[in-house]
Amino acid sequence: MPNPTAAMLVIGDEILSGRTRDANMYHLAGELTHIGINLREVRVISDDADAIVTALNDLRARYDSVVTSGGIGPTHDDITADCIAAAFGVGITVRDDARALLQAHYDRSGKEFNEARQRMARIPDGATLIDNPVSVAPGFTLENVHVMAGVPSVFQAMVASVLPTLTGGAPLLSQTLRIQRGEGDIAGPLGALAQEYSDLQMGSYPFQENGVYGANVVIRGTDPAQVHAAIAKLSDLFPA
């Protein structure tokens, strides 16, 4: 059975302008791989309603699940929740359970639960909330779309609470062989090996360190015996 697939939609001008270096993609990629979900595509788009709706509808139709990050705070550029509702064609209102969470939080901290903050309780109809143990304002899940905050500490907490609800696949095992030969010397034998083991994925990642050329060859697959056999054969071809 093929592994479940996923895509990620990163929403935020700050990534595209080069102001901020994205950290969430790297985190999510590792977490999904760990539970056997195949992250197939990531898109980074700006805080633009049309772009968000179009990309979301494209991705949610093509992959088993979609994770979004960014745009669910209280400011005018936080338009993700409205865009998700528009993409699904459902309504969006302030929801009692989300408002109660936020009200209690601001009561505790002595801050005013003003109109801007109440926007964070606006949740598309039919969604379930994603817990936010860091800063309370919830994310939400609607069908196969999981909407999370962009602040890395909050994003990571939301990923941790959603992952157990996803159906994973056979864990993708990975072994790496470091070969101190130019990639052009590795390419021929590696290509033949990739044909022989067509169920496995083989990637070659060149490096240059202190004048030494080489490549890390990564072999991935769900069958441990196959991965091991392929790495052993490669190791025989390129003894250290």
Q: Which residues are near a copy of itself by CB under 8 A?
A: 12-22, 25-33, 39-47, 51, 73-77, 106, 111-112, 114-117, 119-120, 135, 151, 153, 172, 174, 182-188, 190-191, 194-195, 201-206, 208, 215, 218, 220
CB-wise, 63 or 88, nearer to a copy of itself?
A: 63
Q: Shortest approach of a copy of itself to residue 80 CB, angstroms?
A: 14
CB-wise, 147 or 190, nearer to a copy of itself?
A: 190
| Residue 135 CB burial class (10 angstroms; 0-12, 13-18, ≥19) | middle
Helix (H) or strand (E) holding 101: helix 96-109
Q: Shortest approach of a copy of itself to residue 85 CB, angstroms?
A: 19
Q: Shortest approach of a copy of itself to residue 75 CB, angstroms?
A: 4
CB-wise, 31 or 131, nearer to a copy of itself?
A: 31
Q: Within a 10 A sphere around the Cβ of 239, how many other Cβ atoms?
A: 6
Q: Shortest approach of a copy of itself to residue 126 CB, angstroms?
A: 26
Residue with tokens 């005018």: 76
Q: Within a 10 A sphere around the Cβ of 101, how many other Cβ atoms?
A: 18
CB-wise, 128 or 208, nearer to a copy of itself?
A: 208
CA angle in degrees (0–180, nearest 5) for 173-176-177: 145
Q: How far apart are CA 176 and CA 204, in angstroms?
A: 10
